[in-house]
Structure 1
Amino acid sequence: MEDNSAAEPLIKKQGYHDNCEACKIERFKESNTGIPFKLLFFVWVVTLAAALPISSLFPFLYFMTRDFHIAKREEDISYYAGYVGSSFMFGRALTSLLWGMVADKYGRKPIIMIGTIIVVVFNTLFGLSVNYWMAISTRFLLGSLCGILGPMRAYASEICRKEHQALGMSVIGTSWGIGLVIGPAVGGFLAQPAEKYPQIFSRESLFGRFPYFLPCLVISVFALVAFIISCWLPETLHIHCEENIARNSREAPPEDNTYESIQSQEMEVSKLQSTVSQRSLFRNWPLVSAIIVYCIFQLHDMAYSEIFSLWAVSSRKLGGLSFSTSDVGEVLSVTGFGMLLFQLFLYTWIERMLGAILVSRIGAVITIPLLSSYPFIAKLSGPVLLLVLNSASLLKNVLSISITTGLLVIQNRAVAQEQRGAANGISMSAMSLFKAIGPAAGGSLLSWAQGRQHAEFLPGVHMVFFILNVVEIVGLIMTFKPFLAHPEDEISDPEPDPESHRS
C-alpha cells in the first residue's frame, strides 16, 4: 500500500480540485495515454494567429516604405524597411519576460486571450498607416503587448504527457514556421488589391486608398477567430495549492487521519516550492545553452526572411529577381504547403531515427551550400527560375523548422512546470532581441551589398548570403558539447520524494 502511494504523482496525492481546470488536465493525462488532438489543434490555431503578422509585411514592405517617400535613393529603401521589420521584435524583446512572469502568476489563458485581441487591434492599425513613423509605432506596440508565444510553449508542454511533449513543441514550431511563410503569402497576394484586382477593388475605395490594409485585415479577422477559440482553452496552471490545503486543515477533525495527511502534503508543497525557488533559471545551463543556440538560428532565419523578400522584389540590375508581391506570395505559398506536409508525415519519423540534435546539425550543414547558390539562381529566368527558386525556398524553410524544433523541446524539458512561463519568457525576450537585429541588419546588409555590384571580393548579393552562412556556421558549432547541454538529468516536472510518504 505504501509503495503504491509513493508512486503516485504529487497532484494526485494531494487530491484533485473540482474547480481547477489544471487538475482536470492532469487527471486527463493520467487516464488517457493518447494525444490530445483537440487541444493541440487549438494551440496550432492560436500560434498561427500570433505568427502571421510577424512576416506578412515582408512582400510589400519594400513598396510600403517606398510609398512613404522617406528614402532618397532606391538603394536606401531596404535600409528603412529593415527598421519597420525590427520594431515588432524590439518591442517583444522588452516585454516577453514580463508576460512570462504574469503567466506563471495568473495563468496561461489570460495572456493568450489578451495577445490575440492585441493582434486584432494593432495589426489592423498597421495596415492603415499613413506615414513611416505610424508604421513603426504600431508594429512596436503589437510586439510589446502580444505575449502569446512564451506562455503558449509552456501550455503545449503541459497539456501533453511527457512522451508527447516533443509533438506539442512540434505543433508550436510547425504552426509558427507555417505562419512565417503563409503570412508573406497573404501579404503578397492581397497587398495593392486596386492594382491587381481592379474589377473588384476601385482606386477610390478604402483598399485603394490604403493599399496594404487588406492583408492586415484578413489576418486580424483570423486572430479574432483565434480569440474566440482561446475562450475554450482550459487553464493548465494550478491556482489553488496552499490556500486550499490551509482550508482543508482547518476543516479536518483532529482525530481523523486526514489531518496528518494534509500536514504531510503541506510539507511536501513547501519543500517543492523551496526547491523550485532555489533553482535559478539563469544557472540552469541546459536551458541557457539551448536558448542561446536557438537565438543564433532565429537571428539567421529572421534576417533570411527579410532579405529573401527584399531580394526577390529588387530589380535585376541590383542582383534581384524583379518579382511582384504576387510572385513572392506564390513562392511562399508553395513553401508553406511543403512545410506542412513535411511536419505531418516526415519530421517525426526522421527525429525518432536520428534524434533532434542530429537533425538540427544536418539541417545547418545542408543550409550552407544551399544559401551559397542563391546569387546564381538570380541568373536564371522563366520556368527554370520558378522551379529552382521554389525548391530552394522549400528546402531552406524545412531545414530551419527542423533545426529549431529540437531546441524548443530541450528548453521545456530543462525546467519544472512552475518555471516554464518564466523560462519561455526569457527565451522569448532573448530570441526577440536577436530577431529585432535580424530584419534591421538584413535590410542594411542588402542595401549596402547592392551598392557594391562591381567589388572584387563577393560582389553584390554574394556578400549577403556569405554573411548569412557565417551566422549559420556559428550556430552549427554551438550545437556540440560542451556548449549545448542535454537536460536528461534535469527536472522537467516535479516528482515527489517517495521516502517522504513513508511513515
Structure 2
Amino acid sequence: MDEEAPTIASYVEGCPGCAMERKKASNKGIPYKELFLVAITTIASALPISSLFPFIYFMIEDLHVAKNEQDIGLYAGLLGASYFVGRFMASLFWGLVADRIGRKPIIVFSVISVVIFNTLFGLSVKYWMAITTRFILGALNGMLAPIKAYSIEICLPEHHALGLSVVSTSWGLGLIVGPSIGGYLAQPTQQYPNIFHNKSIFGRFPYLLPCLCISVFAAIVLVSCIWLPETLHMHKNIYSEVEMSSDSRDPQTEDIHPDKCLYKNWPLMSSIIAYCVFTLHDTAYSEILPLWTVSDRKYGGLSFSSKEIAQVLAVAGAGLIVYQLFIYRPIHKFLGCVKSCRTASALSIPLIAAYPFMTHLSGFKLGLALYFVAIVKASLGMTILTSTSLLQNYAVSQNQRGAANGISATAMSFFKAIGPAGAGALFSWAQKRQHATFFPGMRIVVSSFVVVKCICYIWFLLLLPLHVLSINCSDLV
C-alpha cells in the first residue's frame, strides 16, 4: 500500500470524511481544536452520570422511599443503575445510526438530552420521577459510541492513543468532577444558608443546583458543536472509490475485511469483554466510595459530609489531568495497550484492598491516604479504559466503528447497570453485618471488588494477547 498522502483527485468532493482525510494529509500535527471539542463534549456527556453519587444517600432519605436507614443503599443502587439500563437498551441503535448519518448529529442530540433531562432530574420530588428521568437520559445520551470513533478519525495513526486518551480522560474527569459538583452544590440551603434561603427554589428542590449547573455547561458546549467537523465518509463503496493511504486507514485494521461480522470478530469481542469486566468494577467503585465515606463510622464508614467527599473527588480529578498531560503518553508508548492494561489492573488490587483499613486513621493521615488512593485509582482506571478502547477501534474498519462502539457501549451499560444495583444491595447487606465473623462490614464489599479486579487481570494476562496475534500488531503487546 502506498505510504504517501493521497492526491486531491483521490478524494470525493462533498464527502466530509474525505475532507477530513485531506486535512490530515496536509497537516501532520496534532488536531488541537478538534481534540478540545471532543474533550468538552465528552465531559458534558459524562458529568450527569455520577454527579448524584455524593448526594444520592440524602436524596433517598428526602424522597422517603426507604423503610429504614440500612435500605437506603438498595434504593440508591437502583437509581444509579437506571441510567445504565437506558443506555444498555439504546447504545447499539445510536452506534448504527452514527454509521449511517454521521457522528456529529448523534453527538449534538446527546448533549441536548443532557440539557433537558438532567435538569428534570434535579426537579424530582418523587422516586419514580427521579428513576424515570435518569432512565430516559441514559437512553437518549448516545455519545459514547460515536465519540470514540470520532476521536480516532480526526487523528493520524501516530496520534490515535492521544485521541482516545482525550476521550477516556475527559470521560473519567466528568465522572470525577460530576460528583464534586454534586457534593459542593447539593442541599445549598444547608451548606450555604447565607446565600440560599429555605423558601427559594433551591430550598424546595435541594438537588436542582448541581444539575442546573451541569445543564448550563452542556448548553454552552452545545453551541460549540457548531465547529465540530463531520468525519464519516458519505459515499458508497468507499474502499473501491477512494484509495486510502496509511494516513486515512489504521495500520491495525489494514487486513480486516470491512464487512466482517462484528460478533465473530474475536479481537473486538475479547477487548469488549475486558472492557465490560473493568467497567463493572469501576462503576460499583464509583457508587460505593461516596456511600462508604458519608456513612456513619458505626457502619464502617468515615462520617464525611457531601462537601468533604467532593473535595476528595476534586483532588482526584486534578491528579487525573496531571497524569494525562505528563505521564500517560510515555507509559503507553513504552508498554503498549495490553501491558498497560495488565500493569494497571495488577496495581489496582492492593489499592482497593487498603480501603477498609482507612477507618483506623483520622485527621491528616486519613486525608493523605484517601487522596493518594483516589488519585492513583483514577489514573489506573483511565489507562485501562484508553487501552481497551484502542484495541476495540483497531479491530474494525471505519464503516463499522460506530456499530462496534455501540456494541461495546451496550454490553458495558449492562454491566454498569449491574454494578450500582449490585453494589448498593451489597453495601446495604454489609452495613447490617458489622460484627459478622466472616468478612464483616465493608470487608465483604472490598473483597468482592478485589475478586472482580483479579478476574479482569487474568483476562488481560491470558486472553488479550490473542487479540494482538489476530490483528497482526505485535507492537501493542
User: Counterpart of 2:292?
Assistant: 311
- 1:96-245 → structure 2 map (5 Å cutoff): 96-241=91-236
Give the stretch that moved more between structures: 141-150 or 24-33: 24-33
Structure 1 CA distance for aligned equivalents of residues 235 and 472 of structure 2: 22
Please state if 1:83 is matched with 2:64.
no
Structure 2 CA distance for aligned equivalents of residues 491 and 111 of structure 1: 32
Q: 1:155 to 1:265 in 2, by over 3 A?
A: closer
User: Counterpart of 1:460?
Assistant: 441
User: Counterpart of 1:451?
Assistant: 432
- Give the partner amino acid of 2:17: A
User: Counterpart of 1:30?
Assistant: 25
Q: Secondary structure at the match of 1:231?
A: helix
Structure 2 CA distance for aligned equivalents of residues 216 and 431 of structure 1: 25
Decide which of 273, 281, 300 is 2:262's aligned counterpart. Answer: 281
Deviations 1:455-501 (A, max 9, x none): 11111001100000000000000012345533465399xxxxxxxxx
User: Counterpart of 1:430?
Assistant: 411
Maintained 8 Å contact 1:478/1:484 = no
User: Counterpart of 1:65?
Assistant: 60
Please state if 1:298 is matched with 2:249.
no
- CA drift of 1:18 comes to 3.8
Q: 1:179 to 1:266 in 2, by over 3 A?
A: closer
Give the stretch that moved more between structures: 477-486 or 461-470: 477-486
Structure 1 CA distance for aligned equivalents of residues 321 and 183 of structure 2: 19
Q: Secondary structure at the match of 1:444?
A: helix
Give the number of aligned pairs. Answer: 463
User: Counterpart of 2:326?
Assistant: 345
- Give the partner amino acid of 1:395: V
User: Counterpart of 1:49?
Assistant: 44
Structure 2 CA distance for aligned equivalents of residues 79 and 14 of structure 1: 61
Structure 2 CA distance for aligned equivalents of residues 364 and 391 of structure 1: 17
- Give the partner amino acid of 1:346: I
> TM-score, with normalisation over the residues of structure 1?
0.88
Maintained 8 Å contact 2:46/2:174 = yes
- Give the partner amino acid of 1:300: H
Please state if 1:381 is matched with 2:376.
no
Maintained 8 Å contact 1:416/1:491 = no
- Give the partner amino acid of 1:417: Q
Deviations 1:133-167 (A, max 9, x none): 10000000000011011000000000011111111
Maintained 8 Å contact 2:10/2:243 = no
The structure with more radius of gyration: 1
- Give the partner amino acid of 2:32: F
Q: Secondary structure at the match of 1:336?
A: helix
Q: 1:378 to 1:93 in 2, by over 3 A?
A: same
Maintained 8 Å contact 2:99/2:400 = yes
Maintained 8 Å contact 1:290/1:484 = no
Structure 2 CA distance for aligned equivalents of residues 358 and 76 of structure 1: 41
- Give the partner amino acid of 2:372: S
Structure 1 CA distance for aligned equivalents of residues 449 and 214 of structure 2: 30
Decide which of 305, 330, 340 is 1:359's aligned counterpart. Answer: 340
Maintained 8 Å contact 2:293/2:309 = yes
Structure 1 CA distance for aligned equivalents of residues 66 and 84 of structure 2: 22
Structure 2 CA distance for aligned equivalents of residues 320 and 46 of structure 1: 35
Q: 1:454 to 1:265 in 2, by over 3 A?
A: closer
Q: Secondary structure at the match of 1:355?
A: helix
Decide which of 296, 309, 313 is 1:328's aligned counterpart. Answer: 309
Structure 2 CA distance for aligned equivalents of residues 114 and 41 of structure 1: 19
Structure 2 CA distance for aligned equivalents of residues 296 and 369 of structure 1: 18
Q: Secondary structure at the match of 2:462?
A: coil
Q: Secondary structure at the match of 1:7?
A: coil
Q: Percent identity?
A: 52
- CA drift of 1:403 comes to 1.7
Maintained 8 Å contact 1:276/1:418 = no
- Give the partner amino acid of 2:402: G
Q: 1:9 to 1:425 in 2, by over 3 A?
A: farther
Maintained 8 Å contact 1:415/1:491 = no
Maintained 8 Å contact 2:111/2:219 = yes
Structure 2 CA distance for aligned equivalents of residues 452 and 126 of structure 1: 33
Maintained 8 Å contact 2:75/2:424 = yes
Deviations 1:196-223 (A, max 9, x none): 1111110000111100000000000111
- Give the partner amino acid of 2:405: N
- Give the partner amino acid of 1:163: E
Maintained 8 Å contact 1:413/1:487 = no
- Please report the RMSD computed on the Cα atoms of aligned residues, expressed in angstroms: 2.2
Structure 1, gaps ≥5 residues long: 1-5, 246-263, 493-503
Maintained 8 Å contact 1:22/1:235 = yes
Structure 2 CA distance for aligned equivalents of residues 14 and 212 of structure 1: 56
Q: 1:202 to 1:42 in 2, by over 3 A?
A: same
> TM-score, with normalisation over the residues of structure 2?
0.93
- CA drift of 1:366 comes to 1.6
- CA drift of 1:9 comes to 8.1
- CA drift of 1:21 comes to 2.3
Structure 1 CA distance for aligned equivalents of residues 120 and 360 of structure 2: 39
User: Counterpart of 1:259?
Assistant: none
